Each structure stands twice: as structure tokens, then as C-alpha cells.
Structure 1
Amino acid sequence: MDLNTVLSQLEPDNEEEVEKLLQQFNRENIHTFSFDPTEETLRIKLCQSVLTALGMQMQPGCQRTCLETLRILSRDKRVLAPVATKEGVLILGAMARLRAGEEDEEQEEEEEGDDRRGSREHVQSEAEERVVVEALKCLCNVVFNSPAAQQVSVEVELAHSLCARLRAAREWHHEVGLFTLRLLFLLSALRPDVRAALRREWHAVKLLTEVLEHTLDVRWVGPYEAARPEPQGPPMPAEDNERAMEALKALFNLTLSEAGGEEDDHQFRLVAAILRHLLMLKTETEEKTEEAHSHAVNLLNNLPVTCLDVLIDVPVQGGQEKYGGKNMDVVQVLLDFMEKRIDKGSNYKEGLTPVLSLLTEGSRHHREIRRFIKAQVLPPLKDVKIRPEIGTTVRNKLVRLMTHVDMGVKQTAAEFLFVLCKESVDNLLKYTGYGNAAGLLVARGLLAGGRGETQYSEDEDSDTEEYKTAKPFSINPITGHVEEPMPNPIEEMTEEQKEYEAQKLVNMFDKLSRQNVIRPMGVRPDGTLAPLVETLCDPHDDNSGSDSD
């Protein structure tokens, strides 16, 4: 439908004609709306006309049609000027029943005091409910695409109104709750000042924790322990999973910067306990389960590492004596998730590094977690004839990542294995070989050996008899495996031929050095690399840099 035709026939005071005209526009553009630059002015005018119509008293059906049109138009950030105003945001807020900028304190206290009296939060009919959902969708588009609308949202305290809805009602329709949470996520992601206010003034971390608790049907059996879901029970419904994902994303934004204090520690431990419960749940599809686990991992990375003991400290459900009586079920889930992400073979930066970082920090600060993971990832070596990076075990896959082209992926994988080895260079080389570990050792200044700064408990020797037998003789420290003996190329040479080849090699190195193609390097006593000349000089010799007489 031609925009000129729509604008010429659109009369805001004729509700029936407005609804009929816009329904046809929506049908034609809902999936194929194109942003033709020549029609930008016309689309701006259409936005203004639709907004004017929404400001009038109309039936829910016409309101919904107008909002659908506005949602289609709001995909184009260039035409949002009429909507990205205080008037525009307030109109959409009223359509969404958010009452942005209109709540007084007495009224808010009344609503919070008795949820059943918060009748404004309950939609009276299905038609009105669809109006609320469409208005929330419009607000999501407008806030995402318009910095001006973001600023207006701050001025009218839209985030506060969203928190009031989440606090006052628990049994909203799925889509109303979903897009309320999504709008809160967008505001917290795009505006750091809103993020700070949500956390400090409106206690949104606690509020979203309660939303998660309600959505996931958490039943507490201990201070930070949720009842274990039934193994043969039904999977989590798709709608509950969707709302939980939006709450997790908003919580991730609010926990990007940690705050101190006992109250925060208690709240973070509650979040960790709920995330443990979530990690043990299954959804209707494997893909959705993996998505839920991904969001849980991202949020766990934001929590203080001291809170991770909540993941394994569940004595009511029993534990494993081998690991201090701690329950390692959720750690096994995280390991399985990590391996799935490795096997995908793509998007390691966003998909794999968060879970590697989480397992690394958990292993560094919690001995039981490290011991359990090491038993799974770095079991005692038996077959030392195969290179560490060749094979299908988790260790093989992680060692391959130590030479990945992405620096972040490479460093994260190497750091994980290093911590499992209690930051011992000798242990790391035993499992990976010097060639794979060189990058980490250079970055850490550990080429000369030694340990990292973290203190670890002493475990008993884990070397197998096979490894102890092979180690003194034929394990190549560079490749980390036993190599077949190679024939000696100079065995049948005469002394003259050996001398000729040696001189030839010296000349080649000299030429490359003079042309700055290579620069001979050595290792300082502190384990860092330096030019070979510097490493050979005696720092206590006053004449080391002068000519001799």
C-alpha cells in the first residue's frame, strides 16, 4: 500500500476507518517492510499520525492495530523522532499499563501492600491484554533504536514503573511478563545510570531473584539449597524458560560491577543457589537447555568467586567423600556443557571462554572443584606415545585450543589447564608439551620453570608407572610424547663432511642474523626472554661491555 494513500485517508477521529486502513498496511508490511530512503518523511508523518490516534479514546481492537503499525515503523531508527519524546513514551507507557511518570508514592504503597488490590496490573480482557503486549513490544523497539527515547525513559522513570509491575503481580500473562523483563533488560544494558539506580534505589537484584525463584518454582530445603528436581519429572515449560532467560540477562547487567556488604553476599549466594537449580533442569529441547545453561554460566562469572561454594555445598542431597563430601553434580553439568561448546568448533570467543573462565576461577579458589575437574580432564597419563593434541579426550581438545588463532581463546584454555596443574610448569609440560605451553609461559614469565603465585595444597604423586618408566628415556619435552628414534644423519659422514655442514649452518645463521631475519634469544634467570647477548653477559662483571687490552 502506498504511504501517500495511507496518509491521505487516515483520519484519527474516524476509528473504524483508521483500523481498517492500518490493518491492510500491517498485512502488507509485517514481514516485508522495506526502509526506502525516499519515503522517510512519509514514514515520520505516519508515525506522528498513529501516535495522535493512540492519544484519543479508542477501542482495544483499534489500539492494537495502531500499535502493530507503530511496531513495524519502529524497526527504522530514522523515523522515531515523533515517538522518542516525552509525550510519545508516556502514551506508549499508558498503553502498556505502566503509568510511566504518573505514580505517586501513596498510590504505589497501596499497590505494593496488597497484590490483589493492584487491579491496574491485571488485564480485564484478552483484547486489552494484546494492547499491553503490543505497547511493550513498541517500547522495546523504540528504546533499542533511539538514544533520545532512552533519555526520555530515564526522565519518566520507566524502569521504576517496570519494577513496580514485577513487584505487584506474579500471575501475569506470559507475554506481558516476558516483554516487561525484556524492556528492563534493554534499559539496564543501554543506560549505565539506569543500571545503577535499579540496583541501588529500586533493589532490582532482589526483585529479579524473586522473579527467577517464582518462574523456576524453586522450593528451599536449606539456607542456599533448592529441592532437587525430579529426574523423571516433566521438562521446564518453554514459556517459563523464556521469562527466566530475560530475567537472567537483566541480572547479568546489574551484577557487572560487584558491591560489598553482607546483604549483597547473601543475595549473590541466593542467585548462585537458583542458578544451580537451573543448571540441573531440562527444557523441552536440547537447544533451549543449552541456551539456559549459557545464560547461567554468564551470570555465575559475575558473582564473587567465594559464592561458588554454594554450587557444591548441598549436604542434604548427599556428597562424595572423595571430594570432601561435596556434591559435584552441577560441576559435571558445567564440564559437559564445556565439551559441547568445544565440539561445536565455532564461536569459541562468546560460547566457550565464559565456561572456561568460570571453571578456572572455581578450580583456583575451591580445592574440591579443582580435584574433581582434574580427574575428568587430566587423568593420570598412561599412553605417552601419542601427542597431547591428538585424540578425542577433553584433554586433547583443550591442548589443541592452546594454539588457537584467537588469542583470548588460547590464553583461557591454557590458563584453565595451568590451574588444574596447580600452576606448576613441570606438571603443565607433562600434560601438554613445551611447544603447546610456550605461549602461556612467555606471558607469565615462567620459561625457566617454577609455579604461579597462587598457593595450592600438596596432592600425592599422580604419575602412573607407564609415565615414570618412559619419562627418563624418550619423552620429547617439546611435543610431550614418546617419539620413535630417528636415524642419525651424520653417522656415516666423514670428519671433513661434518665440519663442512657445521660451518655451512653457522654461515646461514650469521646471514639471517645480519639481515635481522632472526634475532637469537635466551632466557634470563627470571624466566623472561631477552637477546642472547644480554643473557650471556655477567651483570657482576664491570668489564662485560668493554674491549679487552
Structure 2
Amino acid sequence: MDLNTVLSQLEPDNEEEVEKLLQQFNRENIHTFSFDPTEETLRIKLCQSVLTALGMQMQPGCQRTCLETLRILSRDKRVLAPVATKEGVLILGAMARLRAGEEDEEQEEEEEGDDRRGSREHVQSEAEERVVVEALKCLCNVVFNSPAAQQVSVEVELAHSLCARLRAAREWHHEVGLFTLRLLFLLSALRPDVRAALRREWHAVKLLTEVLEHTLDVRWVGPYEAARPEPQGPPMPAEDNERAMEALKALFNLTLSEAGGEEDDHQFRLVAAILRHLLMLKTETEEKTEEAHSHAVNLLNNLPVTCLDVLIDVPVQGGQEKYGGKNMDVVQVLLDFMEKRIDKGSNYKEGLTPVLSLLTEGSRHHREIRRFIKAQVLPPLKDVKIRPEIGTTVRNKLVRLMTHVDMGVKQTAAEFLFVLCKESVDNLLKYTGYGNAAGLLVARGLLAGGRGETQYSEDEDSDTEEYKTAKPFINPITGHVEEPMPNPIEEMTEEQKEYEAQKLVNMFDKLSRQNVIRPMGVRPDGTLAPLVETLCDPHDDNSGSDSD
């Protein structure tokens, strides 16, 4: 549909014509909207006209159509000037039923058990609800694509209004909750000042924790222990999973920088407990379950490492005696998740390194976690005839990553194995070979051996009889017992040996004359110098004629 035609026939005061005209435009452009540079001015004018129409009193059906048009147009960053103003953001905020400054009143109502605000949300008709959803979608697009709109959102305290929405009611339509959370995530991601205000002034970490608790139907059986999900119970509904993912993404932004204090510690432990519950849940598809676990891992990386004990301190559900009575179920889930990400063979930086970092820090600071993971990843060696990087075990896969082309992936995998070996160079070389471990040892300055700085408890590090027997024959570079190589000169005659030796001398002579290599010697002071200089050093007291 030609934009000139739309603009010429669009009369904001004729609601019926506006709705009919824009519905046709939406149908034609919803999937194939063209960003033709020659029509940029026309699209800006259309944005302004639609925004003007939204500022008038219209029926919900026409409002929704206008918002759909604005959502289509807002995919183009270059035409957002009319919307990225205080007037534009306030109009969209009003369409989304976001009202700043009502949080305190609603908090009081909640404390008194008054659900009037929630009831007002529920009495909206389905048509009005669709208007709210479309307005939130528009705000998401506009805020994402326009720095000017982001600044205006700060000025009108849009994030404050979103918190008020989340605090006021829990049973809104799925998409209302979903896009409220998504808009909060975008603002917290794009504006560090909003992130700080959300955390400090509006207690958004606590609020989002409550949203997660409600969405995941967490039932507490201990201070930081949620009831175990039924093994044969139904999977988490797709809609609940979607809202939980948005809440996790927003929480990730808010916990990027840790704060101190007992209140924060308590809040972070609650988050860790909820994430443990989430990691034990299944969704309707394996792909969605993996996505949920990925977001949980990212958020766990932001929490203080001291809070990770919540993952294994679950007395009601029992633990394993060999690991101090700790419950290792969630650690096993994380190990399985790590192996799946390795097996994918792609996107290691974003997909694998977070879980490796989490398991590394958990192992470094929690002895039981390290012992459990080591038993899974680095069991006692028996067969040492195969190179450490060859095979299908988790150890083989991780050793292969130690020589990955991506420096971050390589270092993270090596650090993980190093910590499992209690930062002992000898133990690391035993499992990986010097060739695979050289990069980490150089980076840590540990080529001469020794340990890292972390103190580890003494435990049952013991070698199998098979390993003890084979140890003298293991090549420390490759980390395995190599088949003896045949001696290439055994069957040579003396003439052939002399010929090969002379050929080698000629090769070195040629390289020396071309300055490719330079024979070196050691001066009396211990420094290296060209061999000629060390033989004729004028500072050498013994140079010159022989003494009598």
C-alpha cells in the first residue's frame, strides 16, 4: 500500500476510516515491511499522524490498530523522532496503563490485603487488554531502537511504573506480564542509571525474586529450600517459562555489580534457592529447558560465591554421606548441561564458558562440590595408553578445549581442570599432559611446577595400581604411554651413518652462514653471547698467550 495514499486519506478525527485504512496497511506490512530510504520522510509523517490519533479518545479496537501500525514502523530506527519524545512516551505509557507515582499507594493496599488495584486490572475487557499488550510491544521497540526514548523514559520514571505494575498484581494476562518484564529488562540493560535506581530505590531485586517465586510456584520447606518438583509431574507451562526467562534476564542486569550487607546476602540466597528449584524443573521441550538452565547459570555467576552453598544444603531432601551429607542433584544437572554445550561444538564463548566459570568457582570455594565434580570429570587414571584429548569422556572433551583457538574458551577450560586438581601442576599434568597444559602454566607463571594460591584441604588423591605401574613410561608432554619408536640408525652401515652425520653438519653450517641460526656460548658472567665472542672475549683474564 502506497504511503502517500495512506497519508492523504488518514484523517485522525475519523475513527472508522483510520481503523480501516491502517488495518490494510498492517496486513500488507506485518511480515514484509520495507525500509526504503526514499520513503523515510513519509514514514516519519505516518508515525506522527498515528501518534496524534492515539492522543484522541478512541475505541479499543482502533487504538489497537494504531498501535500495531506504530509497532511496525518502530522497527526502523530512523523514523522514531515523533515517538521518542516525552509526549510520545507518555501517550504509549497511558495506552499500556502505566501510571508513575502509584507504587507507594499500591504497596499500602497490598500490605492491608486490599486487592482493588489488581481488580481494576482484571475488569479490563479482552479488547482493552490487547491495547495494553500492543502498547508495551511498541514501548519495547522504541526504547530498544532510540537512545532519545531511553532518556525520556528515565525522565518520566517509566521503570518506576513498571515496578508498580509488577507489585500490584500477579494474575494479569500472560502477555501483559511478559512485555512488562521485557521492557524492564531493556531499560536495565541499556541504562546503568536506571539499573542503579531499580536496585537502590525501588527494590527491584526483591520484587523480581517474588515474581519468579510466584511464576515457578515455589513452595518453601526450609529457610532457603524449595520443595522438590514431582519427578513425574507435568512440565512447566510454556507461558510461565517465558515470563520466568524475562525475569531472570532483568535480575541478571540488576546483579551485575554486587552490593554488601546482610539484606543483600539474604536476598541473593533466596535467588540461589529459586534457581536451584528452576534447574530441577523440566519444560515442555528440551530446547526450552536448556534455555532456562542457561539463564539460571548466567544469574548464578553474578551471585556471591558464598551463596552457592544453598545449591547443595538441602537437608529435607537428603544428601550423600561421602560428600558431607550435601545434596549434589543440582551439581549433576550443571555437569550434564556443560557436557551438552560441549557436544554442540559451537558458540562456546556464550554457551559454555558461563557454566565452566560457575563450576570452577563452586569447586574452588566448596570442597564437596569439587570432590563430586572431580569424581565425574577426572576419575582415577587406569588406561594411560591413549592421549588425554582422544576419546568421548568429559575429561577428553575438556582437554581438547585446552587448545581451542578461542583464548577465553581455552583458559576457562584449563582453569576448571586446574581447580579440580587443587591447583597442583603435577596433578594437572597427570591428567592432561604438558603439551595441553602449557598455555595455562605460562599464563599463571607455573612452568616450574608448584601450586596456585588457593588453599585446598587434603583428601583422598590416590593413584590406581595401573597408573603407578605405567607412570615411569608416560611421556610427560603427551600424557600417555607411547609405543617405542624404532631406532632409525640400527640397520645402517657405518658408511651410511657417516654420510648422514656429514649431511647434518653441512645443514647447520649453511644455516649458520645465512644467519638463520647463531651458535651461542656462555660468558663467565653467565650471559649468552655468540660463540665467537665467548671464545675470544677481551675481558677474559685467560685470553692471550699461555702463562709460564
Query: Fold conserved (TM > 0.5)?
Result: yes
Shift in alpha-carbon separation, 1:513–1:249, aligned structure 2, 3 A:
farther
Question: After superposition, what is the alpha-carbon deviation per residue over 1:398-427, rounded to whole angstroms, capped at 9, x for unaligned?
Answer: 011111111111110011011101111111
Shift in alpha-carbon separation, 1:11–1:484, aligned structure 2, 3 A:
same
Q: Distance in 1 between matches of 2:532 and 2:308?
A: 49
In the other structure, the counterpart of 2:443 is 443
What are the ranges of 5 or more consecutive residues in structure 2 without an aligned counterpart?
Answer: none
Indicate if the aligned counterparts of 1:448 and 1:526 stay in contact, CA closer than 8 A: no
Q: Distance in 2 between matches of 1:101 and 1:300?
A: 33
**Structure 1 stretch 114-123 or stretch 165-174: which is displaced more?**
114-123
Q: Distance in 1 between matches of 2:175 and 2:208?
A: 17
**Structure 1 stretch 338-347 or stretch 444-453: which is displaced more?**
444-453
Please report how far the alpha carbon of residue 459 of structure 1 lies from its aligned counterpart in structure 2 after TM superposition.
1.7
In the other structure, the counterpart of 2:404 is 404
SS in structure 2 opposite 1:478?
A: coil
Q: Distance in 2 between matches of 1:63 and 1:293?
A: 38
Indicate if the aligned counterparts of 1:235 and 1:284 stay in contact, CA closer than 8 A: yes
**Structure 1 stretch 448-457 or stretch 534-543: which is displaced more?**
534-543
Q: Distance in 1 between matches of 2:131 and 2:395?
A: 54
Indicate if the aligned counterparts of 2:110 and 2:168 stay in contact, CA closer than 8 A: no
Please report how far the alpha carbon of residue 489 of structure 1 lies from its aligned counterpart in structure 2 after TM superposition.
1.6
Question: After superposition, what is the alpha-carbon deviation per residue over 1:128-147, rounded to whole angstroms, capped at 9, x for unaligned?
Answer: 00000000000000000000
Q: Distance in 1 between matches of 2:482 and 2:374?
A: 26
Indicate if the aligned counterparts of 2:84 and 2:152 stay in contact, CA closer than 8 A: yes
Shift in alpha-carbon separation, 1:221–1:60, aligned structure 2, 3 A:
same
Equivalent residues, number: 548
Indicate if the aligned counterparts of 1:96 and 1:131 stay in contact, CA closer than 8 A: yes
Please report how far the alpha carbon of residue 101 of structure 1 lies from its aligned counterpart in structure 2 after TM superposition.
7.0
Please report how far the alpha carbon of residue 503 of structure 1 lies from its aligned counterpart in structure 2 after TM superposition.
6.6
Question: After superposition, what is the alpha-carbon deviation per residue over 1:98-142, rounded to whole angstroms, capped at 9, x for unaligned?
Answer: 024788969987899733344444451000000000000000000
Indicate if the aligned counterparts of 1:188 and 1:195 stay in contact, CA closer than 8 A: yes
Indicate if the aligned counterparts of 2:106 and 2:117 stay in contact, CA closer than 8 A: no
Question: After superposition, what is the alpha-carbon deviation per residue over 1:146-186, rounded to whole angstroms, capped at 9, x for unaligned?
Answer: 00000000000000000000001111110000000000000
Question: After superposition, what is the alpha-carbon deviation per residue over 1:219-261, rounded to whole angstroms, capped at 9, x for unaligned?
Answer: 0000000000000100000000000000000000000000011
Q: Distance in 1 between matches of 2:259 and 2:528?
A: 40
Indicate if the aligned counterparts of 1:121 and 1:168 stay in contact, CA closer than 8 A: no
Q: Distance in 2 between matches of 1:496 and 1:379?
A: 52
**Structure 1 stretch 490-499 or stretch 523-532: which is displaced more?**
523-532
Indicate if the aligned counterparts of 2:229 and 2:280 stay in contact, CA closer than 8 A: yes
Please report how far the alpha carbon of residue 493 of structure 1 lies from its aligned counterpart in structure 2 after TM superposition.
4.4
Indicate if the aligned counterparts of 2:107 and 2:167 stay in contact, CA closer than 8 A: no
Please report how far the alpha carbon of residue 484 of structure 1 lies from its aligned counterpart in structure 2 after TM superposition.
0.8
Indicate if the aligned counterparts of 1:448 and 1:523 stay in contact, CA closer than 8 A: no
Q: Distance in 2 between matches of 1:198 and 1:524?
A: 67
In the other structure, the counterpart of 1:535 is 534
SS in structure 2 opposite 1:269?
A: helix
Shift in alpha-carbon separation, 1:427–1:529, aligned structure 2, 3 A:
farther
Shift in alpha-carbon separation, 1:480–1:104, aligned structure 2, 3 A:
closer
1:512 aligns to 2:511 (yes or no)? yes
Shift in alpha-carbon separation, 1:342–1:107, aligned structure 2, 3 A:
closer
Q: Distance in 2 between matches of 1:97 and 1:183?
A: 14
Question: After superposition, what is the alpha-carbon deviation per residue over 1:347-401, rounded to whole angstroms, capped at 9, x for unaligned?
Answer: 0010000000000000000000000000000001111111111111000100111
SS in structure 1 opposite 2:472?
A: coil
In the other structure, the counterpart of 2:201 is 201
SS in structure 1 opposite 2:521?
A: strand
Q: Distance in 2 between matches of 1:292 and 1:147?
A: 30
Q: Distance in 2 between matches of 1:279 and 1:34?
A: 42
Q: Distance in 2 between matches of 1:524 and 1:152?
A: 72
Indicate if the aligned counterparts of 1:90 and 1:100 stay in contact, CA closer than 8 A: no
Q: Distance in 2 between matches of 1:428 and 1:83?
A: 59
The two structures have a TM-score, normalised by structure 2, of 0.92
Indicate if the aligned counterparts of 2:101 and 2:160 stay in contact, CA closer than 8 A: no
SS in structure 2 opposite 1:234?
A: coil
Q: Distance in 2 between matches of 1:544 and 1:355?
A: 65
Question: After superposition, what is the alpha-carbon deviation per residue over 1:469-503, rounded to whole angstroms, capped at 9, x for unaligned?
Answer: 01113x11111111111111233446676566557
Indicate if the aligned counterparts of 1:101 and 1:158 stay in contact, CA closer than 8 A: no
What are the ranges of 5 or more consecutive residues in structure 1 without an aligned counterpart?
Answer: none
**Structure 1 stretch 120-129 or stretch 323-332: which is displaced more?**
120-129
Shift in alpha-carbon separation, 1:104–1:45, aligned structure 2, 3 A:
farther
Q: Distance in 2 between matches of 1:288 and 1:150?
A: 31
**Structure 1 stretch 102-111 or stretch 39-48: which is displaced more?**
102-111
In the other structure, the counterpart of 1:369 is 369
Shift in alpha-carbon separation, 1:44–1:471, aligned structure 2, 3 A:
same
Please report how far the alpha carbon of residue 535 of structure 1 lies from its aligned counterpart in structure 2 after TM superposition.
16
Q: Distance in 1 between matches of 2:544 and 2:243?
A: 71
Please report how far the alpha carbon of residue 526 of structure 1 lies from its aligned counterpart in structure 2 after TM superposition.
20
Q: Distance in 2 between matches of 1:328 and 1:295?
A: 20
Please report how far the alpha carbon of residue 540 of structure 1 lies from its aligned counterpart in structure 2 after TM superposition.
18
Deviating 4+ runs (over 4 angstroms): 100-113, 493-549
Q: Distance in 2 between matches of 1:15 and 1:304?
A: 56
Indicate if the aligned counterparts of 2:363 and 2:420 stay in contact, CA closer than 8 A: yes
Question: After superposition, what is the alpha-carbon deviation per residue over 1:438-477, rounded to whole angstroms, capped at 9, x for unaligned?
Answer: 111111111111111111111223211111001113x111
**Structure 1 stretch 384-393 or stretch 116-125: which is displaced more?**
116-125
Please report how far the alpha carbon of residue 523 of structure 1 lies from its aligned counterpart in structure 2 after TM superposition.
16
Q: Distance in 2 between matches of 1:447 and 1:489?
A: 32
Percent of aligned positions with the same letter in both sequences?
A: 100
In the other structure, the counterpart of 2:382 is 382
Shift in alpha-carbon separation, 1:542–1:375, aligned structure 2, 3 A:
farther
Indicate if the aligned counterparts of 1:245 and 1:295 stay in contact, CA closer than 8 A: yes
Q: Distance in 2 between matches of 1:526 and 1:258?
A: 53
The two structures have a TM-score, normalised by structure 1, of 0.92
SS in structure 1 opposite 2:103?
A: coil
Please report how far the alpha carbon of residue 94 of structure 1 lies from its aligned counterpart in structure 2 after TM superposition.
0.1
Indicate if the aligned counterparts of 1:388 and 1:480 stay in contact, CA closer than 8 A: yes
Shift in alpha-carbon separation, 1:224–1:189, aligned structure 2, 3 A:
same
Indicate if the aligned counterparts of 1:442 and 1:529 stay in contact, CA closer than 8 A: no
